[in-house]
Amino acid sequence: MPQKTQLDNRSQHTSADGGPGPPAPIFGLTETRSELEWPAIAGMPTKPILAIYPGSFDPVTNGHLDLIERGAKLFDRLIVAVLRNLDKDPLFTLTERLEMLREVARPWENVEVDVFDGLLVDYARKRNAQVLLRGIRAISDYESELQMALMNRKLEPRIETVFLMPAESYSYLSSRLVREIARLGGPIHGLVPPAVERRFRAKVR
């Protein structure tokens, strides 16, 4: 006799003619999360998720901040990890980039700012992180982000990359453009946090 599977053991709905209907859905849309206690049903142990949000942050923009806020809500802990050695010469020193990030990330108790160098996956392993967080603003970001995510997965299959989208109003915003606008004397108000705006004023006088 064929073995009964877990799916076969689900309760049966009754159809209009009184006969057995289709099996009740496992994750029916009508049940609330508290009724289902989904991690227990899925047989998954609940564990705190630590995510790493890596980047150059030269400097942190309102788009980055939007992603930090979303990441802090979604994950138990979030490490904003600043790459120490950039290929290109940064406008802001590592110390300045860290100071600005620490200042703007202060409202979130579960967010830490740290530095890394070398391979990102090595750093993530060292910190016991399960997730790498990256932002995707538009389709144009997707190709390079996908390449990086898949390469990181090849290097360390136990770590997942999660992409989040910032608000549409930040979809055109990048650190590079902000640096350029500031250098050419344009307004950067609303593009970066006030703390970063002040640093810019001091730097590009």
Pairing of strands 131-135, 50-55: parallel
Distance of CA 78 to the CA centre of its chain: 8
CB of 176 to ligand PNS, least distance (A): 9
To the query of whether residue 64 is one of the catalytic residues in this protein, the response is yes
Nearer to ligand PNS (CB atom), residue 12 or residue 93: 93
Minimum gap (Å) between residue 177 Cβ and ligand PNS: 13
Residue closer to ligand PNS, measured from CB, 38 or 99? 99
- For residues 56 and 110, which CB has a smaller minimum distance to ligand PNS in the complex? 56
- Output the smallest distance, CB 83 to ligand PNS, in A: 4
List of residues 6+ apart from 149 with CB closer than 8 A: 132, 134, 161, 163
Single-letter residue type at 49: I
Q: Note if 13 is an active site residue.
A: no
Q: Which residue is nearest to ligand PNS (CB)?
A: 55
137 is catalytic: yes
> Which residues bind to ligand PNS, rule: CB under 6 A?
54-56, 83, 119-120, 148, 151-152
Could you write out the DSSP letters of every residue in 4-28? PPTTTTSPEEEPTTSSEEEEPPTT-
Distance from C-alpha of 31 to C-alpha of 169, rounded to nearest angstrom: 35
**Residues recognised as catalytic:** 64, 88, 137, 175
